[in-house]
């Protein structure tokens, strides 16, 4: 396994083409806006090496028998799935943000099944290729971007009917030694902190979409790939030189638009090529795992609840009955998300490839809760925090010889608590509920792993309504026929 | 002279009910010089303390011999058992 330091060194060796604020970045790793997101991924390496976390953070490779970082593991039982849920909470709690590495483990596990099943039907050799790639990822302890979401253009049209055919990533040329692909993947979490980009189709496809039914993995610095960094609310605070206004001093997340401009993919790295019937198979499996992964929001919720209780104490309001009740409610909602993720893991099963898959109905229920509950938890945190979390002047004013004394005086809460400590907690609540970390805690909770409607469709497909009707009819004497 | 060797194994700590590292520190202080501390993988260990953050006690222990296991999931456990 890599150490956090080795991980950072490995990123420095990448030759990525990254743009931010209209300029090409020469040094990605040390860029103050990107660096907190690198720190968050590095934390997944650091914690795997610590005895008090390794039971969750590491696993035994089913390929080599070696100890590996769990983020590169293929689930061999429901115990592994449960540990993945716990790992999400643990990492969310220790970073207070999106730590970016779950999308890679979900892509790996989904591909371990889909490649196997394509081979069964088509006699292809995708699973062998995939397992070779997996072994490399495990041996080198790599960070993988799971790249599913296409820009999608007109949402009412399938890929082949888009006015611009590149709105979904596609194969533009097939050669003896590989393929050339063109298109883009949007909202890519942790993209510039990744060693490998794993590309998957984003929707179920028909025969006419054959060129779009493609999955592969390429090194992140492959020629023809360009990253355009997404900006986040309050991102420039990281460049101001202080350490109060950014709220979370150490960690953050990032997303990027990843453009594939005629990128060559060697044949050995292709895991699906034109098998349209399996595009939906891969999407559903990836989405199910990824909907489980949102246990991470319980970890971020732990931080937010801790911050809310702390500001209540700093304000002298912690004994008010409605404040106590709101803290209870926040915990109730937070643990509800954890329950869903744990339940779909514990109810997992073995697929033909040998990989364990979560219970897909419960995974969708879990994620549907996640599209809502963090918003309510955030609302309660803002209620408890008071308005100062959004009207607070800057750290520079606090340090100003002219007006700093007024801030010290008028922003004081309880006598024994320093004004600065009170302001730090307020900034953390701001960060998670409407600053840089709200990208992960709120809007990613809404859309990541699919917008709410995607889960509702899956729930409606999987519940047995007829059986429920039978139960009701039997109890009240209605003829079941 | 150190007389006994204790290993330490932790659960992963996803949602601990108390600070597991603080507990281990206090156990070490309480037992003083008589114990040499080592990893749970060290076969020389006489006992392995399995420090779990909650009553689920999900730490993986298959490589730890049954007779060496001492399960702890609360700071209020009976410490006299460690002196036996
Ligand atoms: C912070 C963040 C991180 C992310 N990280 C990743 C990542 O690492 N990898 C990755 O691949 N993706 C990632 N995503 C992308 C995520 O999966 C998508 O945002 C999600 O699938 C929704 O797609 P969209 O954003 O294009 O929204 P849209 O698809 O445009 O959805 C907007 C609304 O329109 C509705 N809608 C869309 N199409 C239709 C239709 N045909 N019929 C009816 N209603 C429709 C939706 O239900 C929704 O209500 C991330 C997203 C976010 C916000």
Alpha helices by DSSP H, listed for A96-150, are: 102-122, 126-140
CB contact, 8 Å: A90 with chain B?
yes
pLDDT reported for residue A134 = 98
Q: Could you tell me which residues of chain B have a Cβ less than 8 Å from any Cβ in chain A? A: 8-15, 20-21, 39, 51, 58-60
Distance A371 CA to ligand 1 centre (A): 12
CATH 2.40.110.10 assigned to domain A4-278? The reply is yes
CB B49 within 8 A of CB B9: yes
pLDDT exceeds 90 at position B80: no
Cβ–Cβ pairs < 8 A, chains A and B: 43
Exposure class string for A102-130: b at 16+ Cβ within 10 A, else e:
bbbbbbbbbbbbbbbbbbeeeebebbebb
pLDDT reported for residue B2 = 64
pLDDT single digits (tens) A126-182: 999 999 999 999 999 999 999 999 999 999 999 999 999 999 999 999 999 999 999
Measure in Å the smallest separation between the Cα of B3 and chain A Cα atoms: 24
pLDDT reported for residue B3 = 81
> CB count, 10 Å around CB of A30?
12
**Mean pLDDT to the nearest integer, A335-362:** 98
> CB count, 10 Å around CB of A233?
14
Give the total number of structural domains in chain B.
1
CB A215 within 8 A of CB A201: yes
| Radius of gyration of chain B, Cα coordinates, nearest whole angstrom | 12
CB B34 within 8 A of CB B84: no
Probe residue for ligand 1, chosen from A232, A447, A454 as the CB with the greatest number of ligand atoms within 8 Å: A447
ipTM: 0.95
- Angle CA A275–A278–A282, to nearest 5: 130
Measure in Å the smallest separation between the Cα of B59 and chain A Cα atoms: 6
Residue appearing with tokens 């189709």:
A201
pLDDT exceeds 70 at position A4: yes
> CB count, 10 Å around CB of A271?
26
Share of chain A above pLDDT 70, in %: 100
Distance in angstroms (rounded) separating the CA atoms of residues A93 and A90:
5
pLDDT single digits (tens) A310-339: 999 999 999 999 999 999 999 999 999 999
CB A264 within 8 A of CB A182: no
CB B65 within 8 A of CB B49: no
Residue appearing with tokens 């990492």:
A91
Distance of CA B16 to the CA centre of its chain: 15
Nearest to A183 by CA among A210, A212, A161, A143: A212
pTM for this entry: 0.97
Alpha-carbon distances, residue A434 vs A96, A306, A440 (angstroms): 13, 17, 10
Length in residues, chain A: 481
**Tokens read off for A140:** 């080198």
Contacts of A14 (CB under 8 A, 6+ apart): A28, A195, A219, A220, A221
Contacts 24+ apart (CB under 8 A), B17-25: B17/B53, B17/B54, B17/B73, B17/B74, B18/B53, B18/B74, B18/B75, B20/A52, B20/B51, B20/B52, B20/B53, B21/A52, B23/B51, B23/B72, B23/B75, B24/B49, B24/B51
Distance A98 CA to ligand 1 centre (A): 17
Residues at CB less than 6 angstroms from ligand 1: A 103, 146-149, 152, 155-156, 185, 187-189, 255, 439, 443-444, 447-451, 453
pLDDT reported for residue A443 = 98
**Mean pLDDT to the nearest integer, A288-297:** 98
Question: Which positions of A are catalytic?
Answer: 98, 102, 189, 255, 290, 294, 296, 444
**Tokens read off for A125:** 């050799």
CB A198 within 8 A of CB A144: yes
Alpha-carbon distances, residue A11 vs A4, A238, A250, A360, A375 (angstroms): 11, 21, 18, 35, 34
Phi-psi region of A21 (alpha: psi -120 to 50; beta: other; left: phi over 0): left
pLDDT reported for residue B84 = 72
**Mean pLDDT to the nearest integer, A295-313:** 98
pLDDT reported for residue B83 = 80
Specify the pairing of strand A23-24 against strand A18-20: antiparallel
pLDDT single digits (tens) A235-250: 999 999 999 999 999 9
Distance in angstroms (rounded) separating the CA atoms of residues A456 and A362:
12
Specify the pairing of strand A178-189 against strand A170-175: antiparallel
| Biggest alpha carbon–alpha carbon distance for chain B | 38
Write out the residue range of the structural domain in which residue B68 sits. Answer: 4-83
Distance in angstroms (rounded) separating the CA atoms of residues A443 and A269:
33
Residue ranges matching CATH 1.20.140.10 in chain A: 291-468
Nearest to A200 by CA among A132, A111, A136: A111
Q: Following DSSP, what letter does each residue of A219-252 receive, concatenated?
A: ETT-TTEEEEEPP-TTGGGGGSS-SSTTSSSS--
pLDDT single digits (tens) A83-124: 999 999 999 999 999 999 999 999 999 999 999 999 999 999
Q: Do B14 and A52 touch (CB under 8 A)?
A: no
Q: Indicate the average pLDDT of chain A.
A: 98
CB A100 within 8 A of CB A82: no
Measure in Å the smallest separation between the Cα of A90 and chain B Cα atoms: 5
Structurally, what CATH architecture does the domain formed by A291-468 represent? Up-down Bundle (1.20)
> Which residues are registered as beta bridge partners of A262?
none
Nearest to A195 by CA among A285, A100, A114: A100
Residue appearing with tokens 């999106």:
A98
């Amino acid at each position: 396994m890599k150490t956090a330091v080795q991980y950072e060194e490995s990123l420095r060796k990448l030759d990525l083409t990254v743009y931010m604020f209209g300029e090409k970045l020469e040094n990605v790793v040390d860029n103050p806006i990107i660096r907190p997101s690198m720190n968050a991924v590095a934390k997944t390496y650091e914690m795997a090496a610590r005895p008090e976390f390794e039971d969750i953070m590491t696993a035994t490779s089913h390929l080599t028998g070696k100890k590996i970082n769990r983020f590169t593991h293929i689930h061999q039982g429901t115990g592994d799935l449960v540990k993945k849920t716990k790992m999400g909470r643990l990492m969310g709690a220790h970073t207070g943000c999106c730590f970016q590495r779950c999308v890679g483990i979900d892509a790996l596990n989904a591909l371990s099944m889909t490649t196997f099943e394509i081979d069964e039907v088509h006699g292809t050799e995708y699973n062998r290729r995939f397992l070779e790639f997996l072994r490399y990822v495990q041996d080198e302890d790599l960070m993988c971007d799971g790249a599913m979401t296409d820009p999608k253009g007109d949402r009412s049209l399938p890929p082949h009917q888009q006015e611009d055919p590149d709105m979904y990533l596609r194969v533009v040329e097939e050669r003896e030694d590989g393929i050339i692909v063109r298109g883009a993947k949007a909202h890519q979490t942790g993209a510039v902190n990744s060693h490998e980009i794993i590309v998957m189709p984003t929707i179920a496809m028909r025969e006419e979409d054959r060129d779009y039914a493609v999955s592969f993995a390429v090194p992140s610095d492959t020629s023809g790939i360009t990253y355009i960094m997404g900006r986040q609310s309050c991102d420039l605070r990281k460049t101001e030189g202080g350490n109060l206004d950014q709220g979370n001093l150490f960690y953050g997340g990032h997303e990027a638009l990843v453009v594939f401009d005629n990128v060559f993919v060697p044949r050995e790295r292709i895991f699906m090529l034109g098998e349209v019937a399996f595009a939906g198979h891969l999407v559903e499996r990836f989405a199910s795992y990824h909907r489980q992964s949102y246990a991470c929001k319980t970890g971020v919720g732990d931080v937010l609840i801790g911050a809310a209780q702390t500001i209540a104490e700093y304000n002298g309001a912690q004994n008010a009955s409605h404040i106590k009740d709101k803290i209870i409610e926040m915990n109730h909602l937070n643990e509800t998300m954890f329950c869903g993720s744990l339940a779909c893991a514990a109810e997992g099963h073995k697929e033909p490839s040998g990989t364990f898959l979560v219970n897909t109905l419960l995974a969708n229920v879990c994620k549907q809760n996640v599209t809502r509950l963090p918003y309510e938890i955030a609302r309660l945190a803002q209620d408890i925090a008071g308005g100062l979390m959004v009207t607070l002047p800057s750290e520079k004013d606090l340090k100003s010889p002219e007006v700093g004394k007024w801030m010290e005086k008028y922003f004081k809460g309880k006598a024994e608590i320093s004004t600065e400590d009170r302001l730090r907690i307020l900034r953390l609540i701001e960060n998670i509920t409407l600053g840089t970390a709200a990208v992960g805690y709120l809007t990613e909770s809404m859309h990541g792993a699919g917008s709410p409607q995607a889960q509702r469709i899956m729930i409606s497909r999987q519940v047995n309504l007829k059986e429920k009707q039978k139960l009701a009819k039997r109890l009240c004497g209605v003829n079941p026929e | 002279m150190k007389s006994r060797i204790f290993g330490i194994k932790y659960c992963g700590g996803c949602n601990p009910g108390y600070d597991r590292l603080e507990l281990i520190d206090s156990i070490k202080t309480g037992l003083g010089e008589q114990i040499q501390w080592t990893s749970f993988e060290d076969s020389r260990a006489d006992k392995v303390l399995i420090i779990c953050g909650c009553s689920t006690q999900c730490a993986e222990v298959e490589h730890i011999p049954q007779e060496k296991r001492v399960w702890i999931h609360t700071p209020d456990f009976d410490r006299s058992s460690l002196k036996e």
